[in-house]
């Protein structure tokens, strides 16, 4: 998901906007352009989520029922928005697919086989594991409903492909409940406190999306990026309208 700044537009007085979509496709993450001018869109708190095919099992389970159910958010600050984008599993299904293509072992403890046993073999793994045990299970259930039943969209094993996948986008205007307009400043102060905190090895904490922003900045500065051959082939196939070749 991306929360990208838009050209300046007249201010909208609505405090909450919810949009639900189906029959669309998203292509991963992309932070808002570094150094972009602030716009009304960047003053909002944004949340985005989607469901997916039933490819995840809860801790101790063997039957995949839930989707990976990723969620992303962006909080307004006085600078770049503080954003995060994550799945509700220990590792996203994309890791499984890439390990199959590369014939490499899976990260330990993140996937199970058809019998619910942990495996690092990408050919035997069928499900990702929901993180956080019962707490992650509850969060994934909430996201499943927000991107499914709330709008009459499919859920669980009724989600079969890209076109039955539901997406929900929520925009909140902090000025509605905080008319003094101090939400961005308060978030900035919190960010500074987080930057001042130390990790166990004495270094600073890494904030969500910092690594991605740094990589994006380096790519923009270089004007190019390296793509593995198999990724380039898949991109070319998608550009040609082939959504089945892998």
Task: Tell whether the model's pLDDT for residue 7 goes beyond 60.
Answer: no
Q: Is the pLDDT of residue 36 over 70?
A: no
- Count CB-CB contacts under 10 A for residue 186: 15
Band of pLDDT at residue 33, cut at 50, 70 and 90: very low
Q: What's the pLDDT tens digit per position in 39-61?
A: 556 788 999 999 999 999 998 88
Pairwise CA distance, residues 50 & 167, whole Å: 4
Q: What would the mean pLDDT of 199-206 be, rounded to a whole number? A: 86
pLDDT digits (tens, 9 = 90+) for 121-154: 999 999 999 999 999 999 999 999 999 999 999 9
In the DSSP assignment, the letter for residue 40 is: G
The yes-or-no verdict on residue 28 having pLDDT over 80 is no
In this structure, which long-range contacts are made by residues 181-188, counting pairs with CB atoms below 8 Å and at least 24 apart in sequence? 183/45, 183/76, 184/43, 184/76, 184/77, 184/78, 185/78, 187/75, 187/76, 187/77, 187/82, 188/77, 188/78, 188/79
State percent of the chain over pLDDT 90.
Answer: 50
204 pLDDT band, cuts 50/70/90, is confident
pLDDT category of residue 38 using cuts at 50, 70 and 90? very low
Confidence of residue 181 (pLDDT cuts 50, 70, 90): confident
pLDDT for 26 equals: 65
> 219 vs 229, which has greater pLDDT?
219
Mean pLDDT, rounded, of the chain: 84
What is the per-residue pLDDT for 245?
61
- 74 or 36, greater pLDDT: 74
Q: Which pTM does this prediction carry?
A: 0.79
Q: How far is CA 1 from CA 45, 50, 85, 95, 161, in A?
A: 14, 10, 7, 18, 18
């Amino acid at each position: 998901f991306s929360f990208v700044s838009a050209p300046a537009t007249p201010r909208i007085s609505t405090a909450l906007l919810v949009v639900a979509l189906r029959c669309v496709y998203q292509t991963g993450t992309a932070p808002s352009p570094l150094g972009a001018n602030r716009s009304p869109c960047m003053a909002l708190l944004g949340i985005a989520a989607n469901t997916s095919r039933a490819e995840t099992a809860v801790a101790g389970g063997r039957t995949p029922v839930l989707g990976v159910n990723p969620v992303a958010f962006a909080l307004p600050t006085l600078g770049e928005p503080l954003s995060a984008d994550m799945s509700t599993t220990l590792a996203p299904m994309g890791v499984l697919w890439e390990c199959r293509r590369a014939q490499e072992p899976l990260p330990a403890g993140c996937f199970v086989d058809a019998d619910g046993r942990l495996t690092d073999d990408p050919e035997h793994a069928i499900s990702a594991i929901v993180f956080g045990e019962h707490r992650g299970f509850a969060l994934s259930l909430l996201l499943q409903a927000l991107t499914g039943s709330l709008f009459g969209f499919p859920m669980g094993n009724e989600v079969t492909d890209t076109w039955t996948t539901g997406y929900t986008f929520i925009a909140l205007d902090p000025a509605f409940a905080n008319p003094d307009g101090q939400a961005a400043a308060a978030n900035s102060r919190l960010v500074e406190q987080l930057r001042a905190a130390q990790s166990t090895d004495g270094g600073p904490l890494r904030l969500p999306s910092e690594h991605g922003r740094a990589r994006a900045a380096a790519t923009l500065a270089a004007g190019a990026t390296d793509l593995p051959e198999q990724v380039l082939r898949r991109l070319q196939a998608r550009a040609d309208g082939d959504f089945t070749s892998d």
